[in-house]
Amino acid sequence: MERIERHACFGGWQEVYQHTSKTLNCEMKFAIYLPPMEEEQKYPVLYWLSGLTCNEQNFITKAGAQQFAAQHGIILVVPDTSPRGENVADDSAYDLGQGAGFYLNATQSPWNTHYNMYDYIVDELPTLIETHFPVTHQRAISGHSMGGHGALTIALRNSARYRSVSAFSPIVAPSVVPWGKKAFSAYLGDDTTQWHLYDAVALISQAENVLPMRVDVGLDDPFYQEQLKPELFSQACDAKQFSYQLNLHQGYDHSYYFVASFIGEHIAFHAKHLKA
């Protein structure tokens, strides 16, 4: 593991590392924000999953999250959105291939050689973080768009590993929307039972209980009706009588202007549960 960036930020340090991932069979980068720290103390971790076309840089340069992580004493870990490299399968479209890992384990060739983002986020990356940094085993997870989809599905499938989950503009039902249908067909094939393993609405419908969940969506998001469909999330939760927060914001779109406007509330939401 090699540190390739370090910047002083709100009394702490914004760093970026590069390492060889056995899970993804390529070199990967992740960003980590370390808040102001006291010696011999360990801190909880919030994992952030970014959306289509993004890498580890988008969130750390656009969301303004570090100031809130510093206030609450939370470490932020921000991985890339997919495997990368000349030998990694790719597609000319923005919504498939590199930059579009969809946080799943691909079963179809040529994607299954590298595209195991689910295992990377759930197992390999936390092991790396917990080996090299002063962190507790208290984890939360959040994300935006495709990353919101990843955060919800990973948390729902691993509720014992996380204290809370939140999402901005998530793809809550990828099995029934164009982005998800395209990616799932390529990565997972035609077996829709495999698709439901990575579909938040399907997972909620099958769950016995859920961890604390918060979802925020902008009503002026151009993807609201065709790709996001937050009403399916609320219907699934209501049918099971699960507690959740769904906040709809007039005037806000799909951009990081939206994320930056409410990231402080999301980090406070996670801090409450991480430190309970």
Catalytic amino acids?
Answer: 145, 221, 254
Q: Are 45 and 128 in contact (CB under 8 A)?
A: no
Q: Are strands 26-34 and 43-49 parallel, antiparallel or unpaired?
A: unpaired
Decide: helix, strand or coil at residue 197. Answer: helix
Count, residues in the chain: 276
- Asked if 66 contacts 14 with a C-beta cutoff of 8 angstroms, the reply is yes
- The per-residue b/e assignment along 99-138, b for 16 or more CB within 10 angstroms, e otherwise, is bbbbbbbbeeeebeebbbbbebbbebbbebbeeebebeeb
- Helix (H) / strand (E) element for 7: namely strand 2-9
Q: Which residues contact 132 (CB under 8 A, 6 or more apart)?
A: 1
**Distance separating alpha carbons of residues 255 and 247, to the nearest angstrom:** 16
